[in-house]
């Protein structure tokens, strides 16, 4: 199991990059009313066949050629299910993939959310040439971060240029912190 849900975010979003996505969306929703945390990952990568979608939850499924394990989705599933939540994967070859995971917000076994801003930032920093759309909805208050807008603003500089990266990092942590007032883990 990952120590923090933020680690799952990084891990699963990385699958989209590996699938050649030019845009990877990560939507995080926290709802106290529904007692739910929801993650939606949507990408325009290469997608998967029906057969692959069926087997992708198994730990011995991977598209990698070097070895035969892939633990990202099984770990996410384990965490979702042990907190009374669930996971679903929909995919179309040539169109993209949507992974949805739900967790019980107040379930005793739910790992802490961890540093979501840090996870978003790491994804941008490590993959400066692809685009991300991040949203974080906290009990109806929401925040959107779109690297396409940032890219346009800073062009021709890359998103991982130190000063720009630093602005992105501050922006993500300030805005996300404002949503929940720093009282949420």
Partner 1 sequence: MKSLAELQAIRNRMIDQVSMRKDDSIDTRVVVGMATCGIAAGARPVMLEFVEEIKRRGLENVTVSQTGCIGMCRLEPMVEITVKDQEKVTYIHMSPEKVARVVAEHIVNGRPVEEYTIGYQG
Query: Quick one: tokens of 76?
Result: 């996410």
166 lies in the binding site for partner 1 (CB under 8 A): yes
Least separation in angstroms between residue 52's CB and partner 1 is: 18
Cβ distance to partner 1 smaller for residue 7 or 25: 7
SS (H, E, C) the chain: CCCCHHHHHHHHHHHHHHCCCCEEEEEEEEECCCCEEEEEEEECCCCCCHHHHHHCCCCCCCCCCCCCCCCHHHHHHHHHHHCCCEEEEEEECCCEEEEEEEEECCCCCCCCCCCHHHHHHHHHHHCCCCEEEEEEEECCEEEEEEHHHHHHHHCCCCCCCHHHHHHHHHHHHHHHHHHHCCCCC
Cβ distance to partner 1 smaller for residue 72 or 104: 72
Choice from 175, 177, 180, 184 touching partner 1 (CB under 8 A): 175
2 lies in the binding site for partner 1 (CB under 8 A): yes
119 lies in the binding site for partner 1 (CB under 8 A): yes
135 lies in the binding site for partner 1 (CB under 8 A): no
Choice from 160, 177, 180, 184 touching partner 1 (CB under 8 A): 160
151 lies in the binding site for partner 1 (CB under 8 A): no
Please state whether beta strands 131-138 and 86-92 pair in parallel, antiparallel, or not at all (unpaired): unpaired
183 lies in the binding site for partner 1 (CB under 8 A): no
33 lies in the binding site for partner 1 (CB under 8 A): no
Whether the link from the prior residue into 145 is cis, omega within 30° of 0, is no
Per-residue x/- mask for partner 1, residues 43 to 82, rule CB under 8 A?
-----------------------xx--xxx--x-------
d(CA 172, CA 185): 16
163 lies in the binding site for partner 1 (CB under 8 A): yes
> Which positions touch partner 1 (CB under 8 A)?
1-3, 6-7, 10-11, 14, 66-67, 70-72, 75, 115, 118-119, 121-122, 125-126, 144-146, 149-150, 153-154, 156-157, 160-167, 169-171, 174-175
């Amino acid at each position: 199991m990952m120590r923090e849900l933020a680690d799952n975010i990084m891990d699963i979003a990385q699958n989209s990059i590996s699938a050649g996505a030019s845009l990877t969306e990560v939507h995080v929703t926290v709802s106290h009313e529904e007692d739910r945390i929801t993650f939606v990952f949507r990408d325009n990568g290469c997608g998967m066949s029906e057969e692959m979608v069926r087997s992708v939850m198994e730990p011995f499924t991977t598209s990698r050629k070097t070895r035969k394990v892939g633990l990202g989705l099984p770990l996410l599933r384990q965490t979702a299910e042990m907190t009374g939540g669930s996971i679903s994967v929909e995919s179309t070859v040539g169109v993209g993939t949507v992974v949805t995971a739900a967790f019980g917000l107040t379930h005793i076994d739910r790992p802490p959310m961890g540093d979501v801003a840090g996870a978003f930032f790491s994804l941008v920093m490590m993959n400066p040439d692809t685009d991300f759309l991040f949203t974080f909805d906290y009990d109806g208050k929401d925040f959107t971060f779109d690297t396409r807008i940032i890219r346009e603003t800073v062009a021709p500089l890359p998103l991982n240029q130190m000063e720009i990266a630093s602005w992105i990092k501050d922006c993500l942590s300030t805005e996300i912190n404002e949503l929940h007032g720093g009282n949420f883990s």
